[in-house]
Amino acid sequence: MEPIGIVERLGRWSSGRGALYLLLAERIRALIDDGELQAGAELPPDRALASALAVGRSTVVAAYELLAAEGRIVRRQGSGTRVAGPASAAVRPTTEAPGFLHLLEPRDGVIMLACAAPDSPPPELALAYAQIVPDLARLAGDIGYHPMGDRGLRQAIADRYARRGLPTTPDQVLVTTGGQQALTLLARALIRPGDRVLVQAPTYFGALEAFREEAAVLRTLPVELARFTSAIAEHRPVLVYVISTFHNPTGAVLPPADRSRLATAGVPIVDDEALAELGFPGRTAPPPLAVENPSVITIGSLSKVVWGGLRVGWVRAPSAVIDRLARLRTVSDLGGNVPAQLAATALFASLDQVLARSAAVRQDRHDHLRSELGRLLPTWEAPAVAGGQTLWVRLPRGDGQSFAQQALRHGVAVLPGSGLDAGGGSADRLRLHFLASHAELSEAVRRLAAAWREYRPEPGRPVFPPAMAV
């Protein structure tokens, strides 16, 4: 691509706030994600693009390096800079590994092990909707706009936190359209372009997307938060995002001493508890991090514990933070779905029953998936977890990104680990959910085994020796 061509597409890329390299990377990222820059497209050399944009070469180099770390572009000595992906347009879309926007919609003949969410609503949800019909019929003098959420639902959420040892008032709760909107609002409220955000590696890809939309500079920590104190001192982040309980994707639970140390570290903490109540039978969720420090911001959601179609999540935080989030929410969304919130309020009365039944089913399916993997793919490592929805699988050779493409050719969509790791690691990993039926999980593993027999790592892809598979 000629420099002048990409300059026209970049438009007014430098008109935002923040460092120029972040603004440039953000605009190129948008062109790639929107499909305007196709996989395999060649980008201008550093000096040529810098000259065309009238900026220093270091600005272009920094932008390119950021995009390369995210996996959106590939830079190789002697062959230039290209948009990541196959250079040939002959590859059909059905063979591409699914991206963030394509994980949610089912595809004909494809078993979706990429997006982890309950596969059907529980009967209690239908009963909850039936229960609130008379309440809707009696509504009067209510225009239906509640930016902070229905007061009754906020009270129910506050009461549940209180039962978990965290005294909470409705004014400390903002109801959102699922946990993803909670992340988006928090990113907009707390992050400015160029701000550093500490995240676990790996972590939930939806959080990474939300932070990157605000041009955050992501720095990583191991899931178990090793060297946490020194990382805080080195990076001085404006925010630390963690999944402390039944971590997505590894299933890990931070031990009590580490939870206390994290909560009292003196930096803003966002604790994503969307999966916190998804322990297997006999596993009770530990108290929220905010028990140790009420200023910790906590995210919760019914979309993971009940059904993805119930788009009800929330943020629990100091009331000043909630007020700020509510103002931001009003700009784009005057309030959530009132019938859904009324039904969610009614559902809280039977939520423990729903969770208990779900725990037994999920453990059974977890055990079944691990058994099938052990039978048909014995060289794959799939450690057991104590809750959550996913297995974090290590491949004995090759990389998850190229194998995900091979698996899709065989009718299974899986999530490669590299997309969940802001530090560029986890290339030898896959995330598989275990929420499907026994029959579907068995068929998925059969197809994965067939894909594995045909799989050959692509030239230039990392090959992991057996010594690394420990």
Mean pLDDT of the chain: 88
> pLDDT grade, residue 14 (50/70/90)?
confident
Helices vs. strands in the chain: H and E counts, helices first? 15, 15
* Average pLDDT of the residues in 313-331: 95
pLDDT at 94: 33
Q: For residue range 123-151, what is the model confidence (pLDDT) as tens digits? A: 999 999 999 999 888 877 777 788 899 99
Residues 6 or more apart whose Cβ sits within 8 Å of residue 198: 219, 220, 221, 231, 232, 235, 237, 239, 240, 241
Residue 469 has pLDDT above 50, yes or no: no
User: 333: closest CA among 311, 309, 302?
Assistant: 311
Stated as kind and residue range, the H or E segment containing 459 is none
Cα–Cα distance measured from residue 138 to residue 134, given in angstroms and rounded to the nearest whole number: 6
Residues 6 or more apart whose Cβ sits within 8 Å of residue 326: 147, 148, 174
* Average pLDDT of the residues in 102-107: 58
CB count within 10 Å of CB 117 equals 17
Cα–Cα distance measured from residue 340 to residue 139, given in angstroms and rounded to the nearest whole number: 15
CA-only gyration radius of the chain, Å: 23
The length of the chain, given as a count of residues: 470
pTM of this structure: 0.79
Q: For residue range 351-386, what is the model confidence (pLDDT) as tens digits? A: 999 999 999 999 999 999 999 999 999 999 999 999
Poorest-confidence range of 94-103, 153-162, 337-346? 94-103
* Average pLDDT of the residues in 404-424: 92
pLDDT at 269: 97
> pLDDT grade, residue 32 (50/70/90)?
confident
* Average pLDDT of the residues in 147-166: 96
Poorest-confidence range of 85-94, 289-298, 319-328? 85-94
Residue 97 has pLDDT above 50, yes or no: no
SS3 (DSSP) at 430: strand
pLDDT at 103: 55
Q: What percent of the chain has pLDDT over 70?
A: 91
Q: For residue range 252-287, what is the model confidence (pLDDT) as tens digits? A: 999 999 999 999 999 999 999 999 999 999 998 899
Residue 84 has pLDDT above 70, yes or no: yes
Cα–Cα distance measured from residue 257 to residue 382, given in angstroms and rounded to the nearest whole number: 27
pLDDT at 77: 75
pLDDT at 92: 32
- Domains of the chain in start order, with CATH, are 3-83 (1.10.10.10), 93-120+353-468 (3.90.1150.10), 123-351 (3.40.640.10)
* Average pLDDT of the residues in 93-110: 52
CA angle 25, 28, 32 (to 5 degrees): 130
Identify the bridge partners of residue 272 per DSSP, sorted by sequence position: 299
Q: How far is CA 30 from CA 13, 21, 24, 381, in A?
A: 11, 14, 10, 36
> pLDDT grade, residue 172 (50/70/90)?
very high
> pLDDT grade, residue 21 (50/70/90)?
confident
Residues 6 or more apart whose Cβ sits within 8 Å of residue 258: 224, 225
pLDDT at 460: 54
Strands, DSSP E only, in 410-450? 412-413, 415-416, 429-433
Structure tokens at 309: 């179609």
> pLDDT grade, residue 459 (50/70/90)?
low
> pLDDT grade, residue 98 (50/70/90)?
very low
Residue 420 has pLDDT above 60, yes or no: yes
- Return the higher-pLDDT residue of 299 and 3: 299
Residue 213 has pLDDT above 50, yes or no: yes
Q: How many CA atoms lie within 13 A of 258 on its CB side?
A: 15
